Structure 1
Amino acid sequence: MLEFRRATPGDAEAIHRLNYETFVEEIPQHHSNAERRLVDRFHDTNTYWIGLADGQLVAMCAIRDEHPFSLEQKGVTLPPGEWIEVRLLAVTPAYRNTRTFAGLMRAMLMEATERGVEGIVISGTIREQKLYRRFGFTPFAEAVGTAEALYVPMQLTRSGFMQSETARILRPKLLLAGPVELSSQVRSTLAVQPLSHRSAEASRLLHSVQSKLSDLVKLPHVYTLLGSGTIANDAVAAQLIGRGVIIDTGEFGHRLIDHAERAGLEFDVVPLSGGRRLDLEQIEQHEPDWIWTVHCETSTGRMVDLEALRHYTRKYGTMIAIDAISAVGTKLTDYSFAHFVTFVSGKALRNAPGLAFVAMKHRAVPNPSIPRYLDLAGYDPIAFTQSVPLIQAMDIALTELTDVEIATHQSKLDVFVNELLRRGVPLEIGDDQAPGIFSITLPENLSSLELGLQLTFHGYQVQYESSYLRRANCLQVSTMGWTTERDMQQVATYIGTWLQKKTATRESDGVRHGNLGGPNDESFDRGVLN
């Protein structure tokens, strides 16, 4: 199992030995010695990032921000701005045709981001110029060194990396519940010059999107707002009248309560009674005018059984509102019994974030007493400035979202779960498990932050940084985007291996940044100037 982390004082001896093997025995920069160890002259001011395979050091790099840099001492003038210098980049031979180099690359760029500098400067061996250029490094000075060890001063910015050949090919694989992995056609559409939102073409596109969404959720009226699920739920809160009941499902059930409180609604709260079952007797006691619940509680990956609400509204005519933000697109659901359903573009509908939808059984009625932006009756066809590229991309994404594609969420989740079980990971799986998102709560002696960070180094972004997930020491993997069964199997393999072998505490190393690259098999052959 390959892991990356900042080095500790206990790693010093292994670092000195890898330094010797690379920059004495392999690259003749220093004289040999009987101890076969080389202590870097900047060792005390270096920050080392290291790669460990089953606890053994197989890769490293040293980072400094104290001047003069090694390059400056060799007479090289740095580019304008603040930089960190990366040196001693070394990978043992057995790990040079693996993902190791890319993992170190992510560590370097994350360090640069954390320190708030322009980027990285290195002395890249002349033998590996092609590899460095593929990662976005560009030369900024003439080569330095000897004929046996010739190096080129090179720089790399975050934007340079993201525009590089490698970054384009090896984008981060998003296993998030938003933003999600998009298709290439959707990504291309998002890059076009916006049309006027008042144009006939914009109206045509919006009508197409709303028609497709109406067919998907089985409700006749769909209103499109520019924003997130928060604005959609605020719009629903503005429509509710009388006294209602809100179902407490967890974190996102609590958010519905907050929406209702801010809207000045009168309501009672009823918790789920064991799993996804609704306590209809308790609901009946309140004789509500409306009931509001989430369909998929995102914080746990659990679904609420909506059949009880379907029967309830048939019996009493009660208004039903459903936050289906993490449900729509993950499974085929008939919401025709509901009066309001909210969902968004940036989850299982597989578009970029930015569009919020409210589907309704009845056409919205104008209400001059509420804020204009929340008055859904004005959204016909477009009430305010709208993002036409988002609408265009939504139209394409919905064309791609066939019934067959929706069914893949369950099959991908099955692959993920079966691989975890095969590796001995204890799981609690009920009939309320959502097909789009799976939660893994770690034992107290392990850290979800550390596991999430390691997956980031390996090129997979999962959810672990939200405050509610950190409190629960929980990590989540989502199938919502254009992911594959192979992606899910590989992530489950790493999680299962990590849980078996990791003995770290819940304390992280303090690095909590987004991913800067994707899964890769880049080769690496030589180090960086000592």
Structure 2
Amino acid sequence: MIEFRQATPEDAPAIHRLNYETFVEEIPQHQPNEERRLVDRFYDTSTYWVGEQDGHLVAMCALRTAHPFSLEQKGVRLPPGEWMEIRLLAVTRSYRNTRTFAGLMRAVMEDALARGVKGVVISGTTREQKLYRRFGFVPFAPPVGPVEARYIPMLLTRAGFFESETSAVLRPKLLLAGPVELSLNVRQALTSQPMPHRSNEAKRLLQNVQAKLSRLVKLPYMYTLLGSGTVANDAVAVRLAGRGLILDTGEFGKRLMDHARRAGLLFDVLAMPHSEADWREVERYAPKWIWTVHCETSTGELVDMERLRRYAGEHDTIVAIDAISAVGTFEIDYSFADLVTFVSGKALRAAPGLAFVAMKKRAEPIRRIPRYLDLAQYDPIAFTQSMSLIKALEVALDELTEAEIETHQRKMDVLQETFAKHGVPFKKKPNQAPGILALHLPDPLSSSELGNQLHYHGYRVQFESDYLKAANCLQISTMGWTTTRDVRAVATLVATWMHKKTATMERG
């Protein structure tokens, strides 16, 4: 596994050697010397990104913001704005027909764009113009340099990069629990012209989508809000009354507690029940309502819905379920529940932006609450709605067949089997969700460092949330349009990185 990282002082000899091999021996830009090393004149004012494989430097690139740029020293006038110069882009011959160049460019562009510059400029060799243009680079000045080492000044704006032919290749595949990897058909639907949300066509479209969602979760009444799962859970909180019970499942169980506090609800808290004895503890509280997540996103664990179903059947208790990370990952019958929340941007495989509250009974008006949270007004559209999101969701639901839903468990099995095969220290959980797996890294390994490496290799996983950083944890999700090949590749990269890091630390 190639590790892409910012260079350290210890990398200097290898950088100077690769610099010589590329820009003296291959591209005759400098004179040969007996040492076979070339120290760039801007070395001390540049940030180097390198690709390292088994202790050998196989790729490099320099970023520079200090003026004058090398282009300026050659008499080239830069366009107005703040720019960064990319220099000394080099990949060793044996790695040029691999994904090394793409990984290096992901790392470099991530660094460059994070600095807030307008874009980057580069001296592009005349023989690689096709490659540069694929990345979105465009010439902005006449060629410079001698005939044997001719360069064309080129620039790449942020917009140019994201709209380029190659950006689609460099864009990492999303193995996130949201936003998820979308199908081409869904992405195309998102580009459709908006339609008036009060039109008969808009109402027909939403009613059709809501009917499909009702069949999916087995609840008759569906309310669609523009927003995230947070607003859906707020809409649930204002409908609960009396003293209730919230199951503490972890980070997202605690978020339900925050919703309840802000709504002024009275409630007790019980750690997530795992056994029959735990569930008998629920009876001691005799709650008017129970509120829980189905899949605790932070841990990838499921709450036993069958026990909750039995309890609800034996007691006159309102049941509310946050099913945001569960709906679409496997078949589930929520008909026993009174309120269930979920969203468009997870396992439904649509774009984020739509939130849903499914109910057993029709929502009654509540005049004392904010108008946006009063679900009784949604019949079917109460306020401005994004019909483009609704159209995209309709396409996504047509694609979400039973066979597709079943792929989540297969991908989760492959993920865990690959971890086991490569000796990754991961303990299988009996209540493991099929949609998301949480991997806690042992100290001193860093989940952030691993997450970034996966990004450079073409896969985005979750690791940047504060609660994940605190737990030194990353999450790998099966929710989007990904394949068993994708999850196997990610698991193999994780194992390779962990073994390499552990071995390096042991040698140290």
- Same fold per superposition (TM over 0.5): yes
Q: Distance in 2 between matches of 1:87 and 1:504?
A: 33
Query: Aligned partner of 1:201: which letter?
Result: E
Q: Secondary structure at the match of 2:30?
A: coil
CA shift for structure 1 position 503? 4.3
Larger displacement relative to structure 2 (58-67 or 324-333): 58-67
CA shift for structure 1 position 114? 2.4
Q: Which residue of 2 aligns with 1:518?
A: none
- 1:453-464 → structure 2 map (5 Å cutoff): 453-464=452-463
> Does the CA-based 8 Å contact 1:229-1:344 persist in structure 2?
yes
Q: Which residue of 1 aligns with 2:482?
A: 483
> Does the CA-based 8 Å contact 1:278-1:305 persist in structure 2?
no
Q: Which residue of 1 aligns with 2:417?
A: 418
Q: Which residue of 1 aligns with 2:17?
A: 17
- When residues 504 and 104 of structure 1 are mapped into structure 2, their CA distance, relative to the original with a 3 A threshold, is farther
CA shift for structure 1 position 87? 0.8
Is it true that 1:308 corresponds to 2:307 in the alignment? yes
Q: Which residue of 1 aligns with 2:371?
A: 372
Query: Aligned partner of 1:2: which letter?
Result: I
Q: Distance in 2 between matches of 1:504 and 1:143?
A: 48
Q: Which residue of 1 aligns with 2:175?
A: 175
Q: Distance in 2 between matches of 1:112 and 1:391?
A: 35
Q: Which residue of 2 aligns with 1:342?
A: 341
| TM-score after normalising by structure 1 | 0.94
Q: Distance in 1 between matches of 2:488 and 2:279?
A: 39
CA shift for structure 1 position 418? 1.0
Q: Which residue of 2 aligns with 1:43?
A: 43
> Does the CA-based 8 Å contact 1:445-1:505 persist in structure 2?
no
Query: Aligned partner of 2:337: which letter?
Result: A
Q: Which residue of 1 aligns with 2:190?
A: 190
Q: Which residue of 1 aligns with 2:362?
A: 363
Q: Which residue of 1 aligns with 2:433?
A: 434
- When residues 473 and 143 of structure 1 are mapped into structure 2, their CA distance, relative to the original with a 3 A threshold, is same
Q: Which residue of 2 aligns with 1:65?
A: 65
CA shift for structure 1 position 111? 2.1
- When residues 325 and 119 of structure 1 are mapped into structure 2, their CA distance, relative to the original with a 3 A threshold, is same
> Does the CA-based 8 Å contact 1:4-1:52 persist in structure 2?
yes
Q: Which residue of 1 aligns with 2:267?
A: 267
> Does the CA-based 8 Å contact 1:277-1:305 persist in structure 2?
no
Q: Which residue of 1 aligns with 2:279?
A: 280
Query: Aligned partner of 1:346: which letter?
Result: G
Percentage identity across paired residues of the two chains? 68
Q: Distance in 1 between matches of 2:172 and 2:503?
A: 26
Larger displacement relative to structure 2 (494-503 or 371-380): 494-503
Q: Distance in 2 between matches of 1:313 and 1:102?
A: 53
CA shift for structure 1 position 80? 1.3
Q: Distance in 2 between matches of 1:115 and 1:306?
A: 47
Please provide the CA RMSD for this pair. Answer: 1.4
Q: Which residue of 1 aligns with 2:80?
A: 80
Query: Aligned partner of 2:29: which letter?
Result: Q
Q: Which residue of 1 aligns with 2:214?
A: 214
Q: Distance in 2 between matches of 1:199 and 1:505?
A: 63
Q: Distance in 2 between matches of 1:8 and 1:207?
A: 59
Q: Secondary structure at the match of 1:195?
A: coil
> Does the CA-based 8 Å contact 2:324-2:343 persist in structure 1?
yes
Q: Distance in 1 between matches of 2:476 and 2:8?
A: 30
> Does the CA-based 8 Å contact 1:278-1:308 persist in structure 2?
no
Which structure is higher in RCO with an 8 Å CA cutoff and minimum separation 6?
Answer: 1
| TM-score after normalising by structure 2 | 0.98
Query: Aligned partner of 1:253: which letter?
Result: G
Q: Secondary structure at the match of 2:147?
A: coil
> Does the CA-based 8 Å contact 1:109-1:119 persist in structure 2?
no
CA shift for structure 1 position 505? 10
> Does the CA-based 8 Å contact 1:4-1:454 persist in structure 2?
yes
Deviations along 1:181-224, whole A, 9 cap, x unmatched?
11111111111111000000110011011100100000010100
Larger displacement relative to structure 2 (285-294 or 423-432): 423-432
CA shift for structure 1 position 171? 3.3
> Does the CA-based 8 Å contact 1:445-1:504 persist in structure 2?
no
Query: Aligned partner of 1:30: which letter?
Result: H
- When residues 13 and 169 of structure 1 are mapped into structure 2, their CA distance, relative to the original with a 3 A threshold, is closer
Query: Aligned partner of 1:210: which letter?
Result: Q
Q: Which residue of 2 aligns with 1:2?
A: 2
> Does the CA-based 8 Å contact 2:106-2:170 persist in structure 1?
no
Q: Which residue of 1 aligns with 2:108?
A: 108
Unaligned runs of 5+ in 1: 507-530
